[in-house]
Amino acid sequence: MVETATAQAPAKTASGGNILQVRNLEAWYGESHILHGINFDVNAGEVVTLLGRNGAGKTTTLKSIMGIIGKRTGSVKFNNQDIIRTTSDKIARMGIAFCPEERGIFSSLDVRENLMLPPVVRPGGLPLEQIFDLFPNLKERLNSQGTKLSGGEQQMLAIARILRTGANFLMLDEPTEGLAPVIIQQIGHTIARLKKEGFTILLVEQNFRFASTVADRYYVVEHGKIIDGFSNAELAANMDKLHTYLGV
Amino acid sequence: MQALYAQLLVGLINGSFYALLSLGLAVIFGMLNIINFAHGAVYMMGAFAAYFLLNLGGINYWWALLLAPIIVGIFGMILERTMLQWLTGLDHLYGLLLTFGIALIVQGVFQNYFGSSGLPYAIPDQLKGGMNLGFMFLPVYRGWVVIFSLVVCIATWFLIEKTRLGAYLRAATENPTLVRAFGVNVPRMITLTYGLGVGLAALAGVLSAPINQVRPLMGADLIIVVFAVVVIGGMGSIMGSIITGFALGVIEGMTKYFYPEASNTVVFVLMVLVLLVKPTGLTGRAA
Ligand SMILES: Nc1ncnc2c1ncn2[C@@H]1O[C@H](COP(=O)(O)OP(=O)(O)O)[C@@H](O)[C@H]1O
Ligand SMILES: [Mg+2]
């Protein structure tokens, strides 16, 4: 275990400069204090994964960055701008897109409407052809009710709709949760391809076998704190620790 | 037979008002989670706005159809910004009490200045007179009210169910936090939605002015029936509230012909029956 924020952040990867800097982030749900000082960084072009047991505070971390947790303190800098006091609609317009754990597909919207819902926030989003190329199933189901899709298709839709917007910093909360291996594989390929396209991705995963196929770096969350961090190259050396952290 | 058709027409006209009002209530309920008890008061304000526009500004009926909903809609949006928005997340009861209080104040102020009797509002020249349809005599203005209301209802349905703006609205009804996290200014959308619902009520008020005169309590009387209509139709569906509105107007009209003694109570009897069988209303979802 390491003490300070800087010590926790492993050497930067070959990719670009710092895009997200989280310092001493604390968050509350009403009276319950959930995050107790989260510190980590994400560099442009990286895939960074937050690991940790159920209830550790991974989702709360993403939601705090997105600005949808009522009470939060500390600092979250996105492209050097502090967004800890910014409302979530403005944060989205700065180029952060969020794919929630529960997927958030709207039942009163058909698949096309779900796909087209998030407004374009800046140029450079993926064109529809490319999205259908990544997720051919969606093209077949455009007129179905959003929640009539299978779990895997809903997950694809939840990812697909944020690729159009031009946001280049994606936060994906457990995209493989409860899905069949073939679909997990497809999502893995998608993430790899998005990385190649230049997206920066902050991923939350319980499945570190999956995470290891796409991530550059890892942070381990426990009881609302980051307790460790290492790069993909250091994964093998950290396996024992990781098993202890995750209890697997 | 003539009398039957006449009652059918009366029913369709009342149905138009029920539909416009319950449609607005449904839209407001979906986005704000508030049962807008001020709806009758803003309907009345719509009629008064038309009256003032004509008598103080010389602005005719046609302009009033456009301007009165905008003026009253702005009044509604100010209410939402200054008061209703603070109720987000609280129990329905708070919204009910607040809007009920607003209705009493608004109606009290108008009663203070205008008493309880009706002020006349003339039918515009272009819509005076009637047509002999062979089987009945149709006053042009009444036909106009039914058709125009129907058009406005369908247009609102189209806006909500078929456009991009409507998709935002439906999505925000389901999960406002997520829609906002996509970059949509949801608080502003909520304000506009309240303005839209209130504007529809004001429009109904303008339409009714030449038929029912302009009275401070015109909305208070009507809104009781409209809430019964909403209970019957359920809050869940836009088309549901339109159809229920027109249908209940017609049922009421028919009752007036076949069994006049029950015409004032038939809607409430239906309400009780529906509540017994399907408490969420015919097209409703649980609130
Ligand atoms: N809406 C909420 N209200 C109160 N407590 C919550 C809420 N959501 C999550 N929590 C609590 O916050 C802690 C962290 O949850 P979460 O961030 O979802 O964990 P993770 O995503 O790592 O599984 C848990 O103890 C959970 O019970
Ligand atoms: Mg979680």
Q: For A182-239, how does the pLDDT look when each residue is reduced to its tens digit (9 = 90+)?
A: 999 999 999 999 999 999 999 999 888 899 999 999 999 999 999 999 999 998 898 8
CB spacing of B171 vs A109 below 8 angstroms: yes
Instruction: Tell me, yes or no, if B181 comes closer than 8 A to chain A by beta carbon.
Output: yes
In this predicted structure, what is the pLDDT of residue A207?
A: 86
In this predicted structure, what is the pLDDT of residue A44?
A: 96
- Give mean pLDDT, residues B190-206: 97
Question: Is-contact B219 B106, C-beta < 8 A?
Answer: no
Q: How far is the CA of A248 from the centre of ligand 1 (A)?
A: 20
In this predicted structure, what is the pLDDT of residue B164?
A: 94
Which of B14, B12, B10, B37 minimizes the C-alpha distance to B197?
A: B37
Q: Which residue has the higher pLDDT, B68 or A208?
A: B68
Give CA separation, B197 vs B35, B146, B174, B207, B249, in Å: 12, 19, 18, 16, 20
Sorting pLDDT into bands at 50, 70 and 90, what band is B90? confident
Q: How far is the CA of A13 from the centre of ligand 2 (A)?
A: 26
Region of residue A205 (left: phi > 0; alpha: psi -120 to 50; beta: else)? beta
In this predicted structure, what is the pLDDT of residue A159?
A: 97
CB spacing of A89 vs B168 below 8 angstroms: no
Q: For B104-146, how does the pLDDT look when each residue is reduced to its tens digit (9 = 90+)?
A: 999 999 999 999 889 999 999 999 999 888 888 899 999 999 9
- For B168, the closest chain A residue by CA position comes to A117
Mean residue pLDDT across chain B: 93
Question: Is-contact B103 B40, C-beta < 8 A?
Answer: yes
- Checking if the pLDDT of B284 tops 60, the result is yes
* Alpha helix positions (H), chain A: 5-8, 58-66, 88-93, 111-116, 128-134, 136-140, 151-163, 181-197, 208-214, 239-246
B55 CB-contact burial (10 Å; exposed 0-12 / middle 13-18 / buried 19+): exposed
CB spacing of B170 vs A119 below 8 angstroms: no
Shortest-distance atom of ligand 1 to CA A60: 17
Kindly provide the residue ranges of all beta strands, DSSP E only, lying in chain B, ordered along the sequence: 130-132, 137-139
- CATH superfamily of domain region A18-246: P-loop containing nucleotide triphosphate hydrolases (3.40.50.300)
Contacts of B134 (CB under 8 A, 6+ apart): none
- Give mean pLDDT, residues B231-260: 90
Give CA separation, A156 vs A111, A141, A152, A187, A191, in Å: 11, 12, 6, 8, 11
3-state SS of B189-251 is HHHHHHHHHHHHHHHHHHHHHHHHCECCCHHHHHHHHHHHHHHHHCCCCHHHHHHHHHHHHHH
Q: Are strands A47-51 and A217-222 parallel, antiparallel or unpaired?
A: parallel
Q: Whose CA is nearest to atom 26 of ligand 1?
A: A55
Contacts of A36 (CB under 8 A, 6+ apart): A26, A223, A224, A225
Q: For A107-139, how does the pLDDT look when each residue is reduced to its tens digit (9 = 90+)?
A: 999 999 999 999 999 998 999 999 999 999 999
Residue A221 tokens read as 């969350």
Give CA separation, A87 vs A20, A146, A199, B30, in Å: 17, 27, 23, 23
Q: For A14-48, how does the pLDDT look when each residue is reduced to its tens digit (9 = 90+)?
A: 446 899 999 999 999 999 999 999 999 999 999 99
Q: For A39-86, how does the pLDDT look when each residue is reduced to its tens digit (9 = 90+)?
A: 999 999 999 999 999 999 999 999 999 999 989 999 999 999 999 999
B183 chain-A contacts, CB cut-off 8 A: 89, 92-93, 118-119, 121, 165
The minimal CB distance from B178 to the residues A104, A119, A165 is found for A104
Residue whose entry in the numeric block shows the structure tokens 């910014």: A86
Give me the residues of B, 137-176, that contact A with CB < 8 A.
Answer: 164, 167-168, 170-171, 173-175
Which of B46, B8, B17 minimizes the C-alpha distance to B229?
A: B17
- Checking if the pLDDT of B80 tops 90, the result is yes
Question: Is-contact B69 B206, C-beta < 8 A?
Answer: yes
Which of A96, A80, A81 minimizes the C-alpha distance to B180?
A: A96
Region of residue A150 (left: phi > 0; alpha: psi -120 to 50; beta: else)? beta
ipTM of the prediction: 0.91
Question: Is-contact A44 A75, C-beta < 8 A?
Answer: no
Ligand 1, CB within 6 Å, residue ranges = A 29, 32, 34, 52, 54-60
B124: amino acid identity, one letter: P
Looking at chain B, the whole-number percentage of residues with pLDDT higher than 70 is 99
Q: Minimum mean pLDDT among A173-177, A236-240, B190-194: which range?
A: A236-240
In this predicted structure, what is the pLDDT of residue A93?
A: 97
In this predicted structure, what is the pLDDT of residue B285?
A: 58
- Give mean pLDDT, residues B82-99: 91
In this predicted structure, what is the pLDDT of residue A16?
A: 65
Kindly provide the residue ranges of all beta strands, DSSP E only, lying in A31-124, ordered along the sequence: 32-43, 47-51, 71-78, 81-82, 96-99
Which of B282, B198, B194 minimizes the C-alpha distance to B240?
A: B282
CB spacing of A116 vs B164 below 8 angstroms: yes
In this predicted structure, what is the pLDDT of residue B74?
A: 98
